[in-house]
Structure 1
Amino acid sequence: MFKVGNIYFIAAVAVIGGALFGFDISSMSAIISTQPYLCQFNQRGHDINGLCLGPTDDVQGGITAAMPGGSWLGALVSGIVSDMFGRKRSIQIGSIIWIIGSVIVCASVNIPMLVVGRIINGFSVGVCSAQVPVYISEIAPPSKRGRLIGFQQWAITWGILIMFFICYGCSFIRGNAAFRLPWGLQAIPALLLFLGLCILPESPRWLAKKDRWDETTQVLTLIHGKGDPTSPWVQNELHEIREVVEFERANADVSYFELFTLKMINRTSIGVFTQIWSQLTGMNVMMYYITYVFTMAGLASSGSNAVLLPSGIQFVINVVMTVPALLWMDAWGRRPTLLIGAFFMCLWLCVNAGLFAVYSRKPFPGEFTSTAESMAVSGAPAKAIIASTYLFVASYAPTWGPVSWAYPPELFPLRLRGKAVALCTSANWAFNFALAYFVPPAFANITWKVYVIFATFCAAMFLHVFFLFPETANKPLEELEDIFDDTKPGAIKNIGIPAWKTKNTRHLVLRRERNQELSSKEKMEFHEEQAVSPA
């Protein structure tokens, strides 16, 4: 069957799996404040103006959290599915599950049916979000790996943006079609993902692990060899993959338990916390419940739909500000990007906390429809809150957004990569679930202190990254095995360099290996010389 070998086309199709998550975020955040939704799932009766009040805050938190709850389970299962059926097939399975969930959500007539549909959708997102980075990381060359995996985050931002404005347009429709139409349309990208993957190759590293060496060579030739199986790049890559596969097969059985052994616990903790910290930045406050924040800042005073368009601006910022990471993330490195992002997000969260603490008042009875909208701010402070929120999104988009997807697949050896990334991604969804459920009652009970909590998390993640996260950018996946001494957190194996000095360690690793075998660079030069030498 015809296969496409262009690495950018492969990434563009695969990351549609990330866009599914984006569709879900905005299809909920844009809809939860609209009257058709509030009336269909109404639990609290009507206000003095006859408007539906919708679900209780706890129930709304549960509805929102149903998707990441399903994603947590999907991410864990995806490691087993991926190792069994392949990276590409596991993503296709996820796309089918998404279509089923979207049909149920679109047809929902009550809250239990809506929750079940969102759990199924979440299961799909868990599978895709865990395995798309693995798939891309095992196909991409080292110099482009971060950029290509970063497309996952960019696809999420595009999914958020596209679905948000679909929901905005549908908000002017009278009746239940205002929310059923967007929920039904989100099945279309999953169908495109399934069909698009049919013409993409499987991961060459997964094929090698299954002893399908002819197919491994064909995929490497298609993607990197420009049709020439004798290409130095193809031969060098094939040799390194074979060495790793044979070594791992001879030395270890694969299971989730190995991730918690003394030799792996360091990189497991780093990978898991990369995903946990990406949630504890507070970005969920800015995405799932942005309409609550902007309503408290006075943007809903001119109509029930007035808050949606200003909220959509932050989604545009999210898309645009992810682009610099796609262009320069590999040049910047992982550590500086994460450190800068944590610093600025902490700053803007502190600004918002201060503004709400000093200038907010308690809402008047009937002023807002949700008890989560527990503060009211007007005038210049309200504009400052909106601006600070936009700046927070602009700080997250080029830093923790894309890097949190690119970093974990780089940490683990081939035999564990599928399960390890699944575990890391499951941590993402576990905290996503907790925060989606936590934010509405938190705003209702501790008001502006919610921002203080997330600012504290950002300060903690800054310190964690600085002291324990090694640099992995621009290093072949096989070479990254030499970065960790898993009994000494943050150190280079047999070299002893701490995490904050790991940007330029390649020459030290090569020096250690020079008396054992040819380095990867020397192998490449050797093959190039053979290719140009006369017979």
Structure 2
Amino acid sequence: MVATTDSEHTMTGWEAFRLYKKAVGWSLIVSAAVIMEGYDTALLGALYGFPAFQKQFGQPYGDGYEISAAWQTALSMGTNIGVVIGVFINGIMTERLGHKRMMLISLATITMCIFVPFFSTTAPVLFVGEVLCGIPWGVFSTLAPAYASEVCPVALRGYLTTYVNLCWVTGQLIASGVLDSLQGRNDEWAYKLPFAIQWVWPVPLFCALCFAPESPWWLVRQDRREDAKKSLNRLSILSVEENERMVAEMVRTNHYETEITKGTSYKDCFRGSNLRRTEICCCVWAIQTLCGSPIMGYATYFFEQAGLDTSSAYALGVSQYGFGFIGTILAWVLLAHFGRRTIYLGGLVFMNTMLFLIGILAVIPGTNSAIPWASSVVLLLFVFAYDLSVGPVCFALVSETSSTRLRGKTISLARNTYNLFYIIFGAATPYMLNPTALNWKGKVGFFWGGLCFLCTVWTYYRLPEPKGRTYEELDIMFENKVDARAFKKYVVEDIPE
């Protein structure tokens, strides 16, 4: 089996793609479902400014209509509530049903759930619709990176797990384009069309995934070794002998994990070496919020508070999605040359610097007209760095760090840790920026810079380097309690036969 491990280490990205190009294709299709969640995150917040949406779901205010702050918060949090439910459901049901069946059930569910927001006429009904839609989105966000990490070899894991972040950003880009094209409309289709466009994804994805192969790792965990061989044969062009060796390695890795972790419940995520793995996964995903990313969700509002006119603020707000898209693409280049830990830590250091710079610019005395533009440019650099490092690399880290038997549940716990912090700080950020509340404006950079610094310290001491390691090697390294900073150079010599 050492020979199989060595082949994983020496396999180049191009060789891996040539052998597993079918696995790459199926992984890309599964991850495409995340586009819907990214689309919705940029959709609802922008609709609050549409007169037709305000008239339908708001109350008379001045010369027009306005959606109360309470309902804005409720509607925005409705999706997150649904996502939390969906994430926990995924952690339990995917291990029972398999990735394929769970994905098909979720796609069928989202197709039906979209009818609720599309036909809603009151804020309470729209809230229910957002909660219902959030449940399958929660499944997509955790199932996609898990599937990618299980169907592809070591050389491709980083690219295909970080592709999930690209799908998220792509959804936001599509939403910004759709909303921009509908700004002149004042009828009900100004908000119904954006909801209706969500039907574009689930039906074709459902039809395609009816033919998708199941994860061979899941089949091994179900003691279906022959089915695992058939699945691996559909995912790769390996020879019969290589196929046998790969499945044998999966069986042995699963057996080793069974010995060190008897169960597969949520409680087992906090036992033995899995406690450390759960901590790493949860913190890595929580840092996506704690590093300052909630500002990105209110970028247009931040630009206005910094002193830019509305049209300039809107243009820059849309451009941040372009920065995010380019950043994620370039992250693939970095992944080819640097480790996950290096990229993640380097990104945090740069983002930390940008946040404190935003705070410093906010306290410079005087009325220099260049300061608002400088603050806005620095925030765009922050967005670029986030989507070059913390944003996409997080998906690779949580997929690789979790054990194969507990992957679904560990990723679910990590994702909901992120959701918890996102709900808290997503609701608090407007109060930090609003002139009628804390009115911090650019000084918010000091607050987020402080949190980002703590995240950087944790990353330096606790985040290991999983790049280039097989799941069997990672199991042994965590069981041997290898220090996080020693992971990269650690030599695994006691691989069990």
TM over 0.5: yes
Deviation digits for residues 29-74 of structure 1, max 9, x if unmatched? Answer: 332223222332224x434xx243x223343122212111211111
Alignment match, 2:433: 443
In 2, are the aligned partners of 1:133 and 1:149 still within 8 Å (CA)?
Answer: yes
Report the AA paired with residue 293 of structure 1. F
Distance, in Å, in 1 between the alignment partners of 2:373 and 2:339 is 35
Once the two structures are overlaid, the 10-residue window that deviates more, 450-459 or 414-423, is: 450-459
Once the two structures are overlaid, the 10-residue window that deviates more, 64-73 or 29-38, is: 29-38
Please, which of 378, 393, 397 is the counterpart of residue 387 of structure 2?
A: 397
Deviation digits for residues 405-451 of structure 1, max 9, x if unmatched? Answer: 11112122222111111111111222222222222233232232533
Alignment match, 1:229: 240
Report the AA paired with residue 35 of structure 1. P
Alignment match, 1:500: 485
Please, which of 449, 468, 472 is the counterpart of residue 474 of structure 1?
A: 468
Alignment match, 2:276: 266
Q: Please report how far the alpha carbon of residue 252 of structure 1 lies from its aligned counterpart in structure 2 after TM superposition.
A: 0.8
In 2, are the aligned partners of 1:62 and 1:437 still within 8 Å (CA)?
Answer: no
In 1, are the aligned partners of 2:118 and 2:192 still within 8 Å (CA)?
Answer: yes
Distance, in Å, in 2 between the alignment partners of 1:107 and 1:300 is 35
CA RMSD, aligned part only?
2.2
Q: Please report how far the alpha carbon of residue 352 of structure 1 lies from its aligned counterpart in structure 2 after TM superposition.
A: 2.2
In 1, are the aligned partners of 2:354 and 2:381 still within 8 Å (CA)?
Answer: yes
Distance, in Å, in 1 between the alignment partners of 2:369 and 2:57 is 34
Alignment match, 2:169: 157
In 1, are the aligned partners of 2:466 and 2:488 still within 8 Å (CA)?
Answer: yes
Q: Is residue 2:114 matched to residue 1:102?
A: yes
Report the AA paired with residue 429 of structure 2. V
Report the AA paired with residue 46 of structure 1. Y
Distance, in Å, in 1 between the alignment partners of 2:55 and 2:360 is 35
Report the CA distance shift for 1:131/1:100 in structure 2 as closer, same or farther (over 3 A).
Answer: same
Alignment match, 1:509: 492
Distance, in Å, in 1 between the alignment partners of 2:365 and 2:451 is 24
Deviation digits for residues 174-215 of structure 1, max 9, x if unmatched? Answer: 222112111110121122322221222110010111122222
Once the two structures are overlaid, the 10-residue window that deviates more, 97-106 or 385-394, is: 97-106
Q: Which has more helix, going by share of residues?
A: 2
Alignment match, 1:211: 223
**1:296-315 matched pairs, under 5 angstroms:** 296-301=305-310, 307-315=313-321
Q: Is residue 2:265 matched to residue 1:255?
A: yes
Alignment match, 1:126: 138
In 1, are the aligned partners of 2:27 and 2:151 still within 8 Å (CA)?
Answer: no
Report the AA paired with residue 400 of structure 2. E
Alignment match, 2:56: 40
Q: Please report how far the alpha carbon of residue 497 of structure 1 lies from its aligned counterpart in structure 2 after TM superposition.
A: 4.7
Q: Is residue 2:195 matched to residue 1:180?
A: no
In 2, are the aligned partners of 1:5 and 1:201 still within 8 Å (CA)?
Answer: no
Distance, in Å, in 2 between the alignment partners of 1:390 and 1:456 is 19
Q: Is residue 2:410 matched to residue 1:420?
A: yes
Length, aligned pairs only: 473
Deviation digits for residues 140-196 of structure 1, max 9, x if unmatched? Answer: 100110111111001111111011111111112122211211111012112232222
Alignment match, 1:406: 396
Alignment match, 1:465: 459
Alignment match, 2:36: 20
Distance, in Å, in 2 between the alignment partners of 1:452 and 1:428 is 21
In 1, are the aligned partners of 2:334 and 2:343 still within 8 Å (CA)?
Answer: no
Q: TM-score, normalised to structure 1's length? A: 0.83
Report the CA distance shift for 1:301/1:464 in structure 2 as closer, same or farther (over 3 A).
Answer: closer
Deviation digits for residues 238-271 of structure 1, max 9, x if unmatched? Answer: 1111112334456612211111124321111111
Deviation digits for residues 275-297 of structure 1, max 9, x if unmatched? Answer: 1111222223212x223223324
Distance, in Å, in 2 between the alignment partners of 1:350 and 1:58 is 31
Q: Is residue 2:175 matched to residue 1:192?
A: no
Distance, in Å, in 1 between the alignment partners of 2:398 and 2:384 is 23
Report the CA distance shift for 1:378/1:162 in structure 2 as closer, same or farther (over 3 A).
Answer: farther
Report the AA paired with residue 203 of structure 1. S
In 2, are the aligned partners of 1:102 and 1:121 still within 8 Å (CA)?
Answer: yes
Please, which of 356, 373, 381 is the counterpart of residue 371 of structure 2?
A: 381
Q: Please report how far the alpha carbon of residue 14 of structure 1 lies from its aligned counterpart in structure 2 after TM superposition.
A: 1.0
In 1, are the aligned partners of 2:431 and 2:439 still within 8 Å (CA)?
Answer: no
Q: What SS class does the counterpart of residue 199 from structure 1 fall into?
A: coil
Report the AA paired with residue 168 of structure 2. I
Unaligned runs of 5+ in 1: 361-376, 486-492, 518-535
Q: Is residue 2:342 matched to residue 1:333?
A: no
Q: TM-score, normalised to structure 2's length? A: 0.90
Deviation digits for residues 113-161 of structure 1, max 9, x if unmatched? Answer: 1111111121111111111111110111001101111110011111110
Alignment match, 1:323: 329
Distance, in Å, in 1 between the alignment partners of 2:284 and 2:221 is 27
Distance, in Å, in 1 between the alignment partners of 2:444 and 2:26 is 40
Distance, in Å, in 1 between the alignment partners of 2:255 and 2:310 is 66
Q: Please report how far the alpha carbon of residue 467 of structure 1 lies from its aligned counterpart in structure 2 after TM superposition.
A: 0.2
In 2, are the aligned partners of 1:201 and 1:219 still within 8 Å (CA)?
Answer: yes
Report the AA paired with residue 296 of structure 1. Q
Q: Please report how far the alpha carbon of residue 318 of structure 1 lies from its aligned counterpart in structure 2 after TM superposition.
A: 0.6
Report the CA distance shift for 1:176/1:308 in structure 2 as closer, same or farther (over 3 A).
Answer: farther
In 2, are the aligned partners of 1:16 and 1:190 still within 8 Å (CA)?
Answer: no
Report the CA distance shift for 1:59/1:208 in structure 2 as closer, same or farther (over 3 A).
Answer: same
Alignment match, 2:10: none
Report the AA paired with residue 261 of structure 1. R
Q: Please report how far the alpha carbon of residue 482 of structure 1 lies from its aligned counterpart in structure 2 after TM superposition.
A: 1.5
Distance, in Å, in 1 between the alignment partners of 2:405 and 2:350 is 37
Aligned residues: percent identity? 25
Distance, in Å, in 2 between the alignment partners of 1:281 and 1:5 is 35
Distance, in Å, in 2 between the alignment partners of 1:309 and 1:183 is 23
Distance, in Å, in 1 between the alignment partners of 2:368 and 2:104 is 48
Unaligned runs of 5+ in 2: 1-19
Distance, in Å, in 1 between the alignment partners of 2:223 and 2:368 is 65
In 2, are the aligned partners of 1:15 and 1:152 still within 8 Å (CA)?
Answer: yes
Report the AA paired with residue 194 of structure 1. F
Q: Please report how far the alpha carbon of residue 468 of structure 1 lies from its aligned counterpart in structure 2 after TM superposition.
A: 0.7
Report the CA distance shift for 1:249/1:509 in structure 2 as closer, same or farther (over 3 A).
Answer: closer
Alignment match, 2:3: none
Distance, in Å, in 2 between the alignment partners of 1:81 and 1:10 is 21
Report the AA paired with residue 447 of structure 1. N
Report the CA distance shift for 1:415/1:438 in structure 2 as closer, same or farther (over 3 A).
Answer: same
In 1, are the aligned partners of 2:302 and 2:433 still within 8 Å (CA)?
Answer: no
